Amino acid sequence: MIYIHGILIVIFSIYTGWMLALIFGWLRRNNKKITSSNTRNSLSVLIPYRNEQENIPLLLKSLSDLQYSTEAVEFIFINDHSLDNSVDTLMLGLVNFPFSHKSISLEEKTFGKKRAIEAGVMAAAHSVIVATDVDCIHSKNWLQEINRLIDSESEFIIGPVINKKQPGLLANLQQIESLLLAGITVGSAKLKTPLLCSGANLSYTKVLFNKLQPYKNNYNILSGDDMFFLEKIIKNNDMVHVEINSNSIVETEGAKSFTEMLSRSVRWASKSSKLAISLSTFFGAIVLIINCSILFMTVLVILDIDSIVFFIKLYAVKTIVDVLFLVLLAKRYGRYQTIIYFPIMVVFYPFYLFIVSLATVFSSPGWKGRLEVNERD
């Protein structure tokens, strides 16, 4: 039993140390010199979509309210073979859209989000690309905050993405997860060891995209357009700049049911096995292992009641660190209501991650009617 206790102490120590480092990174000041707000860089905003007729009107309203020069930005909407009325809905909405825009569709034998982004980059008139998703709401100053970070060195800019404020247990559990992911994204990048990024709030130069060809050899994987790009960035030691100002936040739609939430998590998890071994994959493994360890310790306590004190001490340290990070994030992003759901998350998440892991191994992830993209190169 002493060996088992020793292994658990090592696992929890690695996790706790890593989370404390991320908290330090989160609190760290960004010393980057900010571009004058009077400077307006020309931006091309890419928005791939597939079967999004319900989300398009909300997206267009959000984009129409953006405070940015109409002469310095273009929006490129890329249709990935939508089967619903997305195209008609978009065309109708663009009639009174205040910004320059293009609408293109992928060719018949070309499909998938990665191909859509590539098509958007090719069609872009400007040298700086901004990527986002259809199911997102953007603050009015979103592009202004990105603009403030752009200079001759800025090649890849990561922004935080969190779930929209919505009532209900499932929505708040997802908000807790999205807050912690945003914290990991920002905290790790400010430590110059980026672990995560989201394609819903990402900016990069056209030159960098064409140079790295981030999606080569992984078009068949449904998701991962963001993480495969980040992997190439890390391999090439390019600078990563992060903006954590609340005005640069992008809010995304959470899953409306547990089944949808599980399907989304399985799709995201499936790309992890395709990524090269790195700090990102190692950290993901630690998170999975520690949650599985919690399940293991529950069984251990049942078999050996004397282990309960040991279990409580280990779990208390982890919980204190998690709560500290969550409170900082909730304060920053105005999500105080999520904190009261954390005790439920503590019980729910280990079991949920275990189910996601099993589903990732024994099932094929799906997305909007697709099981996988069959093209390879």
Per-residue model confidence as pLDDT tens for the chain (377 residues): 677 778 888 888 999 999 999 999 888 876 655 555 567 889 999 999 999 999 999 999 999 999 999 999 999 999 999 999 999 999 999 999 999 999 999 988 888 888 999 999 999 999 999 999 999 999 899 998 888 887 656 788 888 899 998 899 999 999 999 999 999 988 888 888 888 888 899 999 898 899 888 888 777 776 778 888 888 888 776 555 555 554 578 999 899 999 999 888 887 777 666 666 577 778 888 888 888 888 877 777 777 777 788 888 888 899 999 999 999 999 988 888 899 999 999 989 988 988 888 888 776 665 565 555 444 33
For residue 368, what pLDDT is reported? 61
Residues 249 and 160: beta-carbon distance below 8 Å: yes
How far apart are alpha carbons 261 and 87 in whole angstroms?
Answer: 26
For residue 8, what pLDDT is reported? 82
Helix 342-362 to helix 169-190 angle, to the nearest 10 degrees?
80
For residue 273, what pLDDT is reported? 62
For residue 358, what pLDDT is reported? 86
How far apart are alpha carbons 336 and 352 in whole angstroms?
Answer: 23
For residue 258, what pLDDT is reported? 92
Angstrom distances, CA of residue 345 to CA of 170, 364, 375: 10, 26, 39
Q: Where are the domains of the chain?
A: 2-23+278-362, 32-256
The H-assigned helical ranges of the chain are 2-27, 56-64, 86-93, 113-123, 142-149, 169-190, 206-212, 225-235, 258-272, 279-303, 308-333, 342-362
Identify the residue whose tokens are 């914290």.
183
If one looks up domain 32-256 in CATH, what number appears?
3.90.550.10
Closest residue by Cα to residue 48 from 74, 79, 90: 79
For residue 375, what pLDDT is reported? 43
| β-strands 128-131, 100-105 pairing | unpaired
pLDDT per residue over 242-279, tens digit each?
555 545 789 998 999 999 998 888 877 776 666 665 77
Residues 161 and 139: beta-carbon distance below 8 Å: no
